Amino acid sequence: MRLAMIGLGRMGMNMARRLLRGGHEIVAYNRSPEKTRRLADEDGAVAAVSLDEVVEHLPAPRIVWLMLPAGALVDQHISQFSELLDEGDILIDGGNTLYKDDIRRSEALLEKRIGYVDVGTSGGIWGLTEGYCLMIGGEKKHFDRLEPVFQTLAPAEGYLYCGPSGAGHFVKMVHNGIEYGLMQAYGEGFEILEASP
């Protein structure tokens, strides 16, 4: 399957590499072009220097995965892609987005008949070798179409369809709350041990 990866930071770069190693084709774009060139030179991605060029390199129906910092930057890219993509194409947000933003974005894209999928992504620096746990929200038909991508990114049984738009990032929010609570408890425990005579 050919798809675009927009944003080649720590997560996006290794996710693109895992997909390439799994037999998918990646059209890569990053704001700083040296990362795009590196992924093309080292791993065989197709390098794009603009969002227009990203779309030109994708066969219809197109798939575009955003791995960007949550907030205005994601909205900006979605707005730009909404003018470049066509009916039947799919935009995926794999960042740490607030689930309410997913619902708003999904409704706006629905008017243009562009699909929207939210994917809570967990895996950090080990994701390239171990896989990423994926919590997925959006229309079931989009999940079904994208499932080969999720299978490549995730370890065995490491991805879950969570429900309609926003569900994936909602589950990721709960995941983060549990994780941060555990880290806080560990930190307090070590502090008590260190302070003990």
Q: Is 179 a catalytic residue?
A: yes
Q: How far apart are CA 114 and CA 108, in angstroms?
A: 9
Strand, helix or coil at 91?
A: strand
Whole-angstrom distance, CA of residue 10 vs CA of residue 161: 24
Instruction: Out of 172, 188, 191, 194, pick the active-site residue.
Output: 172
CA–CA distance, 137 with 94 (Å, rounded to integer): 11
Tell me how far apart the alpha carbons of residues 108 and 140 are, in angstroms, rounded to a whole number. 18
Catalytic annotation, pick one of 42, 87, 179, 191:
179
Rounded to whole angstroms, how far apart are CA atoms 95 and 120? 7
Neighbours of 117 (CB within 10 A): 25
Cα gap 25→17, rounded to integer Å: 10
| Active site residue ranges | 172, 179
